[in-house]
């Protein structure tokens, strides 16, 4: 079966996303895919990402961020966003489904799922901060 150029592009995009855990933007993915496929356009990357997200193959994280960030981990999980470097990390914390039932009970709404994002300073940025602090003390 012939593999079309579009399929190849989509596979390359998925490959880039699978090989990082930084929850990148479309632009970041575009820069990586372009190294192997110099003719690919940012518009194509955007379209393919939207399509993959619609199909449930990847996750589009867009609740507080603009531009959207993408994630190949489609299972229910929480995120931590570093306010200094703007990276998003997966948080290995059990997803609390009881809260969905609780909100359903209290509001009468049919809650399907919830999203949760923790904000703060990541380990690397904390380390950098302490270095700056030490330097300024000397
Ligand atoms: Zn950070
Ligand atoms: Zn994630």
CB-neighbour burial class of residue 16 (10 A; exposed 0-12, middle 13-18, buried 19+): buried
- The rounded percent of the chain whose pLDDT value lies above 70 is 91
Domain ranges, ordered by start, for the chain: 5-137
Taking the CA of 93 as reference, the closest ligand is 2
C-alpha–C-alpha distance, residues 105 and 101, integer Å: 6
Instruction: Supply the angle between the helices 5-18 and 26-36 in degrees, to the nearest 10.
Output: 120
Model confidence at 52, pLDDT cuts 50, 70, 90, reads very high
- The rounded percent of the chain whose pLDDT value lies above 90 is 59
C-alpha–C-alpha distance, residues 93 and 133, integer Å: 31
Architecture in CATH for domain 5-137: Orthogonal Bundle (1.10)
Give the Å distance between the CA of 99 and the centre of ligand 1: 29
Give, for 64, the enclosing helix (H) or strand (E): none
Contact call for residues 80 and 121 (beta carbons, < 8 A): no
Ion ligand 1: residue ranges with CB closer than 5 A: 82, 84-85, 122, 125
Give the Å distance between the CA of 126 and the centre of ligand 1: 7
Give the Å distance between the CA of 125 and the centre of ligand 1: 4
């Amino acid at each position: 079966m012939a593999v079309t150029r579009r399929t190849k592009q989509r596979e390359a995009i998925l490959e880039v996303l699978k090989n990082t855990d930084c929850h990148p933007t479309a632009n970041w993915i575009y820069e990586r895919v372009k190294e192997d496929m110099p003719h690919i356009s940012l518009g194509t990357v955007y379209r393919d990402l939207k399509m993959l997200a619609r199909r449930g193959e990847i996750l589009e994280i867009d609740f507080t961020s603009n531009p959207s960030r993408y994630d190949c981990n489609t299972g229910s999980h929480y995120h931590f966003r570093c306010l200094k470097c703007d990276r998003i990390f997966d948080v290995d914390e059990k997803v609390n489904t009881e809260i969905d039932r609780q909100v359903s009970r209290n509001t009468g709404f049919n809650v399907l799922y919830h999203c949760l994002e923790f904000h703060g300073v990541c380990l690397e940025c904390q380390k950098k901060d302490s270095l700056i602090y030490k330097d300024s003390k000397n």
